[in-house]
Structure 1
Amino acid sequence: MRVWALPLALLALAVCVTHAVPRRQHQHMKVTPIKPATIDPVTFAKRLVSMQAGWPRSRNFDCSKLKCVALTFDDGPGEHTWRLLDLLRSRDVRATFFVIGQMVAADKGGHTVRRIVDDGHEIGNHSWSHPPLAELPPHRVKQELRHTEHIVRQLTGVRMRVMRPPYGSTDEQVAAETRREGLAQILWNLDTLDWRDRVTETVAKRASHAKPGSIVLLHDIHRTTVDAMPKVLDTLARRGFTFVTVSELYGRTPSPGKMYTER
């Protein structure tokens, strides 16, 4: 098949095929079927071309020499995510968003998740319903990851390469499944505890303790976290930090199945 014909073929396939909240309690939720998402066929074709060209497009930062920090946001997209994206765009800052499949499905039209991709941020898999993966049988772990992969790829045309296990719950079984799914496990070395202490000043102070190579854990579903971000960005910028995505932090796409906490 000619290279130029591949996006059109994939587009035709996407049109013809009928496609079959975050919480802090360790409770199991029933995985609900994915409903077909509404997306303009021309837009989807362009995204397929972009995907073939390579995504995400990494900027050239040498984090072995620069003071790099990766800001990561979990559990969205939510009602405050768009405001956060506006702020990051205005500061020319890139981050990594670990999205929950059910939250993506609840964002009608997928406008937020598509903007995350369009603005150059990295997007990662945070499961479908936010269960502790290490407590699930293998087939459920696969289901949690594949449901979210399916809807994100359907809406954006990109293939996620990183994931974050909810609650940091992982083991050898989870590692094996993420390796099969082509996903690196991204944890963190700085937890702002913004989900527990929803105080803007407290979140900003904790995030400012980042060190070169840190992966900072935040949640874009909380208003107080988004409110804290201007101060976080100002403080870390004054300290000479460069804001990068997780893949940019390592200078490459992290290895599937492997666990990362910092550079």
Structure 2
Amino acid sequence: MRVWALPLALVALVSCVTQSVPRRQQARVHTAAARPVVIDPVMLAKRLRAMQPGWPRSRKFDCARLKCVALTFDDGPGEYTWRLLDLLRQRDVRATFFVIGQMVAADKGGRIVRRIVGDGHEIGNHSWSHPPLAELSHEALQKELKHTEDIVRRLTGVRMRVMRPPYGSTDDEVAAETRREGLAQILWNVDTLDWRDRVATTVARRAGEAKPGSIVLLHDIHRTTVEAVPALLDTLGRKGYTFVTVSELYGRTPAPGRTYTERTPTGR
């Protein structure tokens, strides 16, 4: 949700509540109307999202016909994420952010993750501390996923439906646990290697090699990656690509426990 839309959303919310509450509750609302009302913007955002089941609501792109590409950003939120969000907003582009719980906790008050959600991006679980999940005990695996789930849900009100195993480290046990947690495993088929090669032009060139249905791996914790975004958007835009979230790429919420690397011509 855009910041400028908050007052309009508030008016709409108040109207809906007034029209839908029982008569006895209306009386209480009218009695209290004489007192000043203090609105908590965080609670308001949660209530607005609660009115939209299945967040984030898909824009219903037909990626079986369109040339769609899903840009994904790992390991944040970090010091460059806010600038990235500005760039994506300017282009009206939605992406998917796989966040680390410790990084979310370091962002005091959850300012960045709330903006990720408010701007309509998809948010996913990237574990609490970024270990290779396939090497963990069952208890440690559960904690890595659950702690990140809890902090994101507390700060944003959103129940994540996708996750990315750090380093792509997964196995049958990870698949079983993500299935229990209601999380699909999202990998990638285009690796920009932006963590290794901190050169914006190189990152943009590699992202520009995406094909229809690609899931592109990027990291918003690197300044050079954020600097590459305008050029990669221009490159893919000239090729006629539509930028979508992971769920929009598949036209539905991906199935829990299942592993996805790209959308194939058959829609899988």
Distance 2:135 2:157 in 1: 31
Q: C-alpha distance in 2, partners of 1:215/1:228?
A: 17
Instruction: Identify the residue that residue 227 of structure 2 maps to in structure 1.
Output: 227
> Partner of 1:155 in structure 2?
155
Deviations 1:81-128 (A, max 9, x none): 000000000000000000000000000111000000000000000000
What's 1:11 paired with? none
Structure 1 CA distance, aligned partners of 2:50 and 2:57? 10
Where 1:217 maps in the other structure, the secondary structure is strand
- TM-score, length of structure 2 as denominator length: 0.82
Kindly report structure 1 stretches of 4+ aligned residues shifted beyond 3 Å: none
Task: Please give the residue correspondences for 1:102-113 in structure 2 after superposition, counting only pairs within 5 Å.
Answer: 102-113=102-113
How many Å separate the matches in 1 of 2:195 and 2:21? 46
What is residue 241 of structure 1 aligned with on the other side? 241
Give distance in 2, aligned partners of 1:42 and 1:199.
39
CA contact (8 A) 1:185 1:256 kept: yes
Matches within 5 A, 1:176-195: 176-195=176-195
Question: SS of the residue aligned with 1:53?
Answer: coil
Provide the residue aligned with 1:76 in structure 2.
76
* 1-structure distance, mates of 2:242, 2:48: 30
d(CA) in 1 for partners of 2:162, 2:68: 19
- Hey, what does 2:49 align to over in structure 1? 50
Residue 57 (structure 1) shift: 1.1
More helix by share: 2
AA matched with 2:260: Y
| 1:4 to partner: Cα distance | 6.5
Rounded Cα–Cα distance in structure 1 between residues aligned with 2:95 and 2:56: 12
Deviation at 1:48, TM superposition (A): 3.9
Instruction: Please give the alpha-carbon distance, in whole angstroms, between the structure 1 residues aligned to 2:21 and 2:227.
Output: 45
Matched residues in 2 for 1:48 and 1:127: separation?
26
- Aligned to 1:75, the other structure's residue is in SS state strand
Aligned equivalents of 2:255, 2:138: Cα separation in 1: 20
Using the size of structure 1 for normalisation, the TM-score is 0.84
Distance 1:229 1:235, change over 3 A: same
Distance 1:80 1:232 in 2: 17
Give the structure 2 partner of residue 260 of structure 1: 260
Q: Return the index of the structure with the highest Cα Rg.
A: 2
Deviations 1:189-246 (A, max 9, x none): 0000000111111101100000000000000000000000000000000000000000
> Does the CA-based 8 Å contact 1:48-1:158 persist in structure 2?
no
Partner in structure 2 of residue 19 of structure 1: none
Corresponding residue SS for 1:87: helix
Match of 1:86 in 2: 86
Could you give the per-residue CA deviations for residues 137-178 of structure 1, whole angstroms, max 9, x where no partner exists? Answer: 111111000000000000000100000000000000000000
User: Where does structure 2 lack aligned partners over 5 or more consecutive residues?
Assistant: 1-19, 23-38, 264-268
Unaligned runs of 5+ in 1: 6-39
Q: What aligned pairs does 1:94-243 form with structure 2 within 5 A after superposition?
A: 94-243=94-243
Identity %: 76
Partner Cα distance (1:137, 1:110) in 2: 29
In structure 1, C-alpha distance between the alignment counterparts of 2:127 and 2:68, rounded to whole Å: 27
